[in-house]
Amino acid sequence: MSHHHEIWSRALDLSRRGVSFVVITVIRTKGSTPRDPGAAMIWRPGEGFIGTVGGGQFEQLVLDAAETHHENRTSGTEAYTLGADADQCCGGTMEVFFEYVGSRHTVVLFGAGHVAFEVARLLGSAPVRTVIVDDRAEWNTEERFACAHRVLDWSEGVGACRERKAETLVCVMTCSHDTDFDLLRELLQDPPAFVGLIGSRSKRACLFGRLVASGIDENVVRRVHCPIGVGDTGKEPSLVAVSIAAQILMEVRRADAGG
């Protein structure tokens, strides 16, 4: 497999799995350099890199920059003088383009049941990163959620919602009303941009009352969208999911438009 074929094959695989990454490409060189324009590599959080743009101290500087672009979800160009910046005797200059690949928005689904499965399927081709949180390993499987990131610990899932609150949308749809309550109580301590709860109006009244009684400000509780969805599309999981996915994508578009 050629260098470029491997890079783009891995990029396609990562995109399909909803994994964000940075593509690093040499776009211009001058003088003596270890690689020519077109050399590329991929940097992934927690998994290192694929390919090379030159090795040595220069490549370490490039990887550090890729990590920064990933953290900020940005793309951009940076120039390096190999002698001054990387302490390499080549002495040439290299201009590198960093392209962040991934969504600005993350959708976290608490619950891996039938509706969550259908919602994740619908969001699979949408410009969002989907995370499934459920401690039931037999439900929260790679086979069922191949295009999503999976978390098997409720607390870890809540923590993930706080990393980028302004860009995170949460839907609570577990198999237990008590678990829904516990999650909402934690999430509303430091709420993300959007919190939705699956259920009826009677469930809404019950859980909202419990949340207020637990000490959470009523105005904060009322920010929870319940019933979640754009309307009554039917009772089958696949039909309920259409309504929920539609509201999620509407919220994403509103955020992108600055609303």
Written as tens digits, the pLDDT of the chain (259 aa) is 566 788 888 888 887 766 789 999 999 999 888 889 999 999 988 778 899 998 888 899 999 999 999 887 889 999 998 876 555 556 689 999 999 988 778 999 999 999 999 999 999 878 788 999 999 999 999 999 988 889 999 999 999 999 889 999 999 999 999 999 999 999 999 999 999 999 999 999 999 999 999 999 999 999 999 999 998 888 899 999 999 999 999 999 888 776 5
Instruction: Print burial letters for 83-120: b (CB count within 10 Å at least 16), e (below 16).
Output: eeebebebeebbebebbbbbbbbbbbbbbbbbbbbbbb
Contact (Cβ atoms closer than 8 angstroms) between residue 51 and residue 7 = yes
Residues 6+ apart with CB under 8 A from 84: none
For the chain, the residue count is 259
Cis ω before 227 (30° cut-off from 0) = yes
Nearest CA to 123 among 44, 235, 18, 232? 18
Q: What is the distance between the terminal CA atoms of the chain, rounded to a whole angstrom?
A: 46
Contact (Cβ atoms closer than 8 angstroms) between residue 225 and residue 193 = no
* Domains observed in the chain: 3-101 (no CATH), 106-256 (3.40.50.720)
